[in-house]
Structure formats: C-alpha cells, structure tokens
Amino acid sequence: MTITLAAALAAARAWTRIYTARMAPAIRDARRSEIESDLWELHEDARRRGASPTRIAVHTLLRLVLGVGDDLLWRAEQLRVRPRVVREALWAGAAASLVFVWWLASMLQAVDRYSAVDGINVVRLLYPLRPVASVPPLPAPPPLSRRQRIKN
Amino acid sequence: MRRKPGTLVPIELDICEAAAALRSRGADEFHGYEIARTIGDAANVRLLTAYGTLYRALARLEKMGLLRSRWEDPAIPARENRPGRRLYTLTALGDAALEEARRASEAAARPRARRRFAPA
C-alpha cells in the first residue's frame, strides 16, 4: 500500500468518525462498519481489476468529497435537525470558502514575491522554494564622471 | 431534491433497478459496494456513487420499507479476513415501487396524442 492510498483511506475513516461523532452508538457503529466494508471492497475490486494504488486513492477521495453534503444531511436527519438548516449552513460554508479563496488570491497578487511583508513572506510560506544560486550578480555601474556628479 | 409524494428520486430508482438486476443474476442479498458497482456498470461510468449519497439513500429506502437489511454472520468475515457486510434485500414493496416508477417513466416518455380537428 502506498502513502497516497493509506492517506486516502485514513481521510475516509477520519471523516466518517467526524460526522458520526456523538450519535447513538448503534447508528454510529453501523455507519462506520458499512463505510469500512465499502472501503475494503473498493480496494479489493480495484486491485483485482489492475488499478494502480494512486487511482484507487483518487477514486476513494472523490467518492468521499462528493458525498460530504449527504453525510451532513444524513447526520441532521438522524439527529432530527431540520435539513433546511443544514442546507443553509452548507451554502454559507461554500460562500465563505469562495470569499476566502478570493481574498487569498487577491492577497497573493498584492504581495511582492521577493520581499518580506511585516517580517513574514506569505508567498515564501506558501511556496517554500529554494533561492536560485546560479543567477550571476549584476555588473557594477560605471563610475560617474565629474560633470555627471556635479549635474546630480 | 424535493420529491413528489409516492415517487422515487433518481438515486433511489437506480438502487432499486440495481437490486432487481442483481436478483435476476441470482444474488438476492447485496452489499453497498455491490450496488454502487452495479449502478456504475449500468451507467457505464468509472466513478461510483459517493459514499454519503449511496448510504443515505440506502437508509432512506430501508426506512420507506423498500429494502430490508441485516448484518452477515460474523464468522464469515472473520474467516475471509475482511470487514463484515451489511446485506440488503429488495422487498415486495420495493418491487411494487420499482414497477410503478417504470410505468410512470414509460408514460412520461410516450408522446402525447395531439388533438386533431376533423376536416370540415
């Protein structure tokens, strides 16, 4: 098993633990066991069909991500929360995420790539690239003549 | 998706169709992944139904009485060294709902007869 596949399976298990937390033990354990069984079946079936571990990982993650909304709605149904409230929360979360992405993108455009901002270079933190050592230093400008110095 | 009373939403219909297809192949009981795989194969898509969508719909169908479920005997998964499966069965009510949905979709697909006026 590769790290990517292990991470995808761990993500699916972690998410299942999160959205089933604080539920009635019978419902919680049934859902966790069902997802565990599905993860195993998908892995075995894909392996038999000759799929690569990365492909299985991507498939697992996509199935996980595309079902997040339904997972939350299922939880709401089980806890007798009105689905409308959950739907509104989901829309609000999606809108907040879009605003955050827009804000982050605008910040990254505004930040000078090579200079520190308030002591922390945000771009360097997000893209920790090594400095390029092979760039030759710029040649020193020729010394100013006496006339030019007087003019300045 | 808001449903009309007494109708099935597309994912529920897909599950019932897949369950009927599995039964026709001799599998009276099926687990979640089997359903997802059958739906995927029927639609000729690689990406299977999302976990949340599939298991929420299965739970809904069970609540509606169209499916019945049981956990398999723990000795079997222990022997085969795998997690236990929750096995579903399509009930008689599920069969009836599927028939009704098929009839409704056929009626919707049939072109409406145009009212023609008799020539004078």
Helix B10-24 and helix B92-109, axial crossing angle in degrees, nearest 10: 120
Compute the distance between CA of residue A42 and CA of residue A58 in angstroms, rounded to an integer. Answer: 12
For tokens 């509104």, name the residue. A88
Any idea which of A6-10, A73-77, B89-93, B114-118 has the lowest mean pLDDT? Answer: B114-118
pLDDT of residue A121: 57
Q: Which of residues 28-67 of B touch A (CB under 8 A)?
A: 31-34, 36-37, 46-56, 59
Cα A69 from Cα A92, distance rounded (Å) = 13
Across the interface, whether the CB atoms of A67 and B53 are under 8 A apart is answered: yes
Closest chain B CA to residue A62: B50
Residue scoring higher pLDDT (A43 or A102): A43
Indicate the pLDDT class of residue A150, thresholds 50, 70 and 90. Answer: confident
pLDDT tens-digit map of B76-103: 999 999 999 999 999 999 999 999 888 8
pLDDT digits (tens, 9 = 90+) for A128-148: 555 555 666 677 878 777 777
Mean pLDDT of B58-75: 94
Give pTM, 2 decimals: 0.70
Question: Where do the domains of chain A lie?
Answer: 3-77, 83-126
Query: Which tens digits make up the pLDDT trace of B5-22?
Result: 668 889 999 999 999 999
One DSSP character per residue, chain B reads ----TT---HHHHHHHHHHHHHHHTT-SSB-HHHHHHHHHHHHT-SSPPPHHHHHHHHHHHHHHTSEEEEEPPTHHHHHHTS---EEEEE-HHHHHHHHHHHHHHHHHHSPPPPP-PPP-
ipTM of the complex: 0.83
3-state secondary structure of A117: strand
- Does the distance separating the beta carbons of A37 and B33 come in below 8 Å? yes
Q: Buried (b) or exposed (e) across B76-104, using 16+ Cβ within 10 A?
A: ebeeeeebbbbbbebbeebeebbeebeee
Distance, first Cα to last Cα, chain B: 49
Q: List CB contacts (< 8 A) between B33 and chain A.
A: 37-38, 41-42, 45
More confident site: B120 or A142: A142
How large a percentage of chain A has pLDDT more than 70?
76
Q: What is the mean pLDDT of residues A20-49?
A: 93
